[in-house]
């Protein structure tokens, strides 16, 4: 009797196994599709080796570690908030990646390109990213992002700053802050005429801005003394 019962249980488990395996496979496929969408990539981004081969696939290893990290973060969120998994805010790949493989702010991306390959390449990259990602939650295309890149280099690399500010003005022509910073960058090149024109444009766009008005008055006074 015991032997018969064991046989029945074994048969039952064997008959359930294909269904369980199929469900697990579907869940894994759905997870991989969600990851690919969150990174804005296709399957080949991670699956670089032929199927069944023993060739290394380092991005799959990274993906596994990132999945483990995500599970750990969610466990910490639940512990910190005291909420159940269904109630706590879930950390997913999209939380950081937002549609790009490397989750870095736009300003950092442009600043690196500017440093490594120059302003023309940075402008080309900005336009390309804007064409592909504008209107999504991936990158910040408001006026402040390029301003934040241009501001710290305006004194030491004014030409690069001016190039970025011209790009910013191309998409945000009424950005008084961009015109004002361009005026400052021109003073670092001792080009007072261009600086004055830029500051006057900034003052025209934002006449109530006392800082811009002060810079404009100061520049005019310096020009009179020369």
The pLDDT profile of the chain, 226 residues, written as one tens digit per residue, is 545 445 544 545 455 556 666 666 667 777 887 888 888 888 888 888 888 888 898 988 898 999 999 999 999 999 999 999 989 999 999 888 988 888 899 999 999 999 999 999 999 999 999 999 998 888 999 999 999 999 999 999 999 999 999 999 999 999 999 999 999 999 999 999 999 999 999 999 999 999 999 999 999 888 766 6
Q: How far is residue 117's CA from residue 125's CA, in Å, rounded to a whole number?
A: 11
CATH of the structural domain 106-225, one choice from 1.25.40.10, 3.40.50.300, 1.50.10.20, 3.40.50.720? 1.25.40.10
Q: Which element (helix H / strand E) includes 8? A: helix 2-39
Tokens encoding 138: 């991936």
HSE-up of 108 (CA within 13 Å, CB side)? Answer: 5
Q: How far is residue 68's CA from residue 188's CA, in Å, rounded to a whole number?
A: 50
Global confidence as pTM = 0.75
What are the start and end residues of each CATH 1.25.40.10 domain in the chain? 106-225
């Amino acid at each position: 009797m015991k032997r018969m019962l064991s046989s029945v249980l074994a048969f039952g488990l064997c008959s359930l196994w294909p269904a369980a395996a199929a469900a697990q496979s579907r869940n894994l496929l759905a997870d991989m599709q969600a990851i690919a969408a969150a990174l804005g990539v296709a399957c080949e981004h991670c699956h670089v080796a032929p199927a069944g081969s023993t060739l290394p696939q380092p991005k799959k290893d990274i993906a596994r570690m990132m999945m483990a990290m995500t599970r750990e973060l969610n466990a910490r969120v639940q512990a910190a908030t005291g909420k159940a998994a269904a109630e706590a805010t879930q950390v997913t790949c999209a939380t950081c990646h937002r549609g790009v493989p490397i989750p870095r702010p736009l300003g950092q991306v442009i600043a690196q390109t500017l440093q490594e390959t120059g302003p023309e390449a940075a402008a080309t990259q900005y336009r390309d990213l804007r064409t592909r990602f504008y209107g999504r939650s991936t990158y910040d295309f408001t006026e402040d992002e390029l301003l934040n890149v241009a501001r710290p280099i305006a004194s030491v690399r004014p030409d690069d700053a001016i190039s970025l500010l011209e790009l910013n003005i191309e998409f945000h022509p009424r950005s008084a802050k961009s015109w004002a910073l361009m005026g400052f960058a021109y003073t670092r090149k001792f080009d007072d005429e261009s600086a004055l024109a830029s500051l006057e444009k900034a003052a025209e766009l934002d006449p109530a801005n006392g800082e811009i008005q002060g810079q404009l008055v100061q520049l005019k006074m310096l020009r009179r003394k020369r």
